[in-house]
Amino acid sequence: GGDPWKECMEMAVQLARRAGQIIKKALTEEKHVSTKTSAADLVTETDNFVENVIISALKEKFPSHRFIGEESTAAGSKCVLTDSPTWIIDPIDGTCNFVHRFPTVAVSIGFAVNQELEFGVIYHCTEERLYTGRRGQGAFCNEKRLQVSKETDKSKALILTEIGPKRDPETLKLFLGNMESLLKAKVHGIRVIGSSTLALCHLASGAADAYYQFGLHCWDLAAATVIIREAGGIVIDTSGGPLDLMSCRVIAAGTKEMAMFLAQEIQTIHYTRDDEN
């Protein structure tokens, strides 16, 4: 009886808090910044250090589990989701913010079994807010239960998005074109905060009505998807079909109406799938 993954989730909470303390301390210190897939795709020693802290602790406790981590993937590890219990980890979401000391930085730990997301833990490092979602058991920020916005009217929508790493002229044209379409459709506003996971936590909290993005990764989506669904929200593909965790694109919203409005309005920006790299 009970929850078979309870111990795993408790460990995820502990590790997210521990990682958050490391990141908070490192935020004000000197950093060594490198680039990955583009000049805007950044990594620091702290990203690698924190991912290693999290994965080594989990491997010791759960030696049969599998791991997908942002920096392990960058270093050449395969990014495939099998039926095995799998941890999906972003050690620092909002690395560009972290580099600039812009205080919107998170640790994200998701967990899937049989390719189904079981729980998600996201820790806002500077505000010490812990977002959690457990399949079938609701979503919380610290002790407070989360509930998405019930807004269905696009003209009352606050929408969140993130820019994504590609900055070539064609990508920028599509990215700005999508913003232009939404503004022409007279939404209330669009915000870019520099962290996909925290933007998705704002959506789960009802602080925004919809989110869309091209160019994010499974480690930006895994934990947040559980949190949003448990807060009553919708997480789908940008085509309007079911979410594909490896597709590097997403629409999330409080209501089906808002999700479908976005699916109709935005043009696809092509990114290589996470499992094709």
Catalytic pick from 47, 51, 71, 93?
93
47 is catalytic: no
User: Is residue 190 within 8 Å of residue 221, measured between CB atoms?
Assistant: no
Q: For residues 177 and 263, what is the distance between their CA atoms, to the nearest angstrom?
A: 14
Q: For residues 218 and 111, what is the distance between their CA atoms, to the nearest angstrom?
A: 11
- Give min distance, CB of 114 to ligand IPD, in A: 26
Stretch that binds ligand IPD, among 12-20, 89-97, 145-153, 250-258 (CB under 6 A): 89-97
Maximal C-alpha separation, the chain: 55
70 is catalytic: yes
- Give min distance, CB of 2 to ligand IPD, in A: 33
Residues 210-249: x where in contact with ligand IPD by CB under 6 A, - otherwise, as a string: -----xxx--x-----------------------------
- Give min distance, CB of 218 to ligand IPD, in A: 10
Catalytic pick from 44, 73, 95, 161?
95
- The site for ligand IPD, by CB under 6 A, has a size of 16
* Candidate list 72, 95, 205, 247; residue touching ligand IPD; CB under 6 A: 95
Q: Which of residues 59-88 bind ligand IPD (CB under 6 A)?
A: 70
132 is catalytic: no
User: Is residue 236 within 8 Å of residue 259, measured between CB atoms?
Assistant: yes
Phi, psi of 232 (to 5 degrees): 95, 10
CA Rg value for the chain: 17
Q: For residues 163 and 144, what is the distance between their CA atoms, to the nearest angstrom?
A: 30
**For the chain, where are the alpha helices, taking DSSP H only?**
6-27, 45-61, 70-74, 95-100, 169-184, 196-205, 218-230, 256-265
Residues 179-208: x where in contact with ligand IPD by CB under 6 A, - otherwise, as a string: ---------------xxx------------
Query: Is 122 one of the binding residues for ligand IPD (CB under 6 A)?
Result: no
Residue 218: partners with Cβ closer than 8 Å, 6 or more residues away: 68, 79, 81, 88, 245, 246, 274
- Give min distance, CB of 7 to ligand IPD, in A: 27
Query: Is 162 one of the binding residues for ligand IPD (CB under 6 A)?
Result: yes
Of 67 and 255, nearer to ligand IPD (C-beta) is 67
Q: For residues 95 and 273, what is the distance between their CA atoms, to the nearest angstrom?
A: 21
In sequence order, the β-bridge partners of residue 139 are 133
* Angle (deg, nearest 10), helices 45-61 and 6-27: 160
- Give min distance, CB of 84 to ligand IPD, in A: 24
- Give min distance, CB of 165 to ligand IPD, in A: 6
Q: Which spans of this chain sit near ligand IPD (rule: CB under 6 A)?
A: 70, 90, 92-95, 162-164, 194-196, 215-217, 220
Catalytic residues: 70, 90, 92-93, 95, 220
